[in-house]
Amino acid sequence: MKRIITIQDISCVGKCSLTVALPVISAMGVEACVLPTAVLSTHTVFKGFTFRDLTADITPICNHWKAEGIGFDAIYTGYLGSFEQLDLMGKLFDDFGGGETMIIVDPCMADNGKLYPGFTQEFAFAMAKLSGKADIVIPNMTEASFMLGIPYRKSGYDVDYVKKIMKDIAALGAKKVVLKGIEFEAGEPEIGNVAGKIGVASYDSLTGKFSWYFHEKIPQNFHGTGDIFASVFTGAMLRGMTLEKSYALAADFVVESIKETLSHEDHNWYGVDFEAVFPYLWKRLENNN
Site residues, ligand PXL (CB under 6 A): 9, 11, 16-17, 40, 43-45, 79, 108, 116, 223-224, 226-227
With CB atoms as reference, the residue minimizing the distance to ligand PXL is: 44
Least Å distance, CB 84 to ligand PXL, is 17
Least Å distance, CB 102 to ligand PXL, is 21
191 or 257: whose CB is closer to ligand PXL?
A: 257
40 or 169: whose CB is closer to ligand PXL?
A: 40
16 or 130: whose CB is closer to ligand PXL?
A: 16
41 or 211: whose CB is closer to ligand PXL?
A: 41
Q: Are 181 and 139 in contact (CB under 8 A)?
A: no
Alpha-carbon gap, residue 266 to 82, rounded angstroms: 36
Alpha-carbon gap, residue 180 to 226, rounded angstroms: 9
Alpha-carbon gap, residue 201 to 167, rounded angstroms: 12
User: Across the chain, where does the E strand assignment appear?
Assistant: 3-13, 31-42, 51-53, 74-77, 102-105, 110-111, 114-115, 136-137, 176-182, 198-204, 209-215
9 or 256: whose CB is closer to ligand PXL?
A: 9
Least Å distance, CB 248 to ligand PXL, is 21
146 or 203: whose CB is closer to ligand PXL?
A: 146
Q: Are 148 and 165 in contact (CB under 8 A)?
A: yes
Least Å distance, CB 37 to ligand PXL, is 9
Least Å distance, CB 239 to ligand PXL, is 23
Q: Are 34 and 6 in contact (CB under 8 A)?
A: yes
Q: Are 188 and 199 in contact (CB under 8 A)?
A: no
Strand partners for 114: 111
Q: What are phi and psi of 213, to 5 degrees?
A: -140, 115
DSSP assigned state of 216: P
Least Å distance, CB 256 to ligand PXL, is 18
- H or E stretch covering 177: strand 176-182
Buried (b) or exposed (e) across 156-193, using 16+ Cβ within 10 A?
A: ebebeebeebbebbbebebbbbbbbbbbbeeebeebee
Least Å distance, CB 66 to ligand PXL, is 27
- As a residue count, the chain comes to 289
111 or 256: whose CB is closer to ligand PXL?
A: 111
Least Å distance, CB 79 to ligand PXL, is 4
Q: Are 199 and 104 in contact (CB under 8 A)?
A: no
14 or 199: whose CB is closer to ligand PXL?
A: 14
Alpha-carbon gap, residue 141 to 181, rounded angstroms: 6
